[in-house]
Amino acid sequence: MGCARASISLEGFALSDDEEAHAQRFVNGEIDLQEFVHNGLPDYTFGHVAAAVQREFDAEQLTADEEPLFMELLGGYLARPNPESIAFATKMRAEGGYVGEDEYGRLVRTLPGGGVELFEEPTTQR
């Protein structure tokens, strides 16, 4: 919420106490995106922003006023598990071949059906 507040203030805007409380309820997970948008305060075009987060509206078409809110909502959406991210992780485990770091920072590749293959042990510096 702090990043959104800073971004909005850099654009020359300020949230009212009611607007900030409403946004904080979404950030806290007390309301979902749809409730946040549809019960939002009328001064903002939450419909475009919510549709862009859900990939139903081209984010390139958002106004400069809508962009900070979009970035905040997108960050919150990506930070929480959702059906798409769960489906993608399931696909990665089933197919194999995806490369990334494990919880120890080692470079690994997923194997079909689960498991990982370690590319190399990280070198330790002394």
Average pLDDT rounded to a whole number, residues 28-32: 84
pTM comes to 0.38
pLDDT of residue 12: 66
pLDDT tens digits, one per residue of 46-84:
777 878 887 888 888 888 878 888 888 888 777 778 788
pLDDT of residue 120: 72
Q: Which two tokens stand for residue 45?
A: 């075009």
Output the DSSP codes for 45-90. -HHHHHHHHTTSS-GGG--TTTHHHHHHHHHHHHHS--HHHHHHHH
pLDDT tens digits, one per residue of 103-112:
888 898 888 8
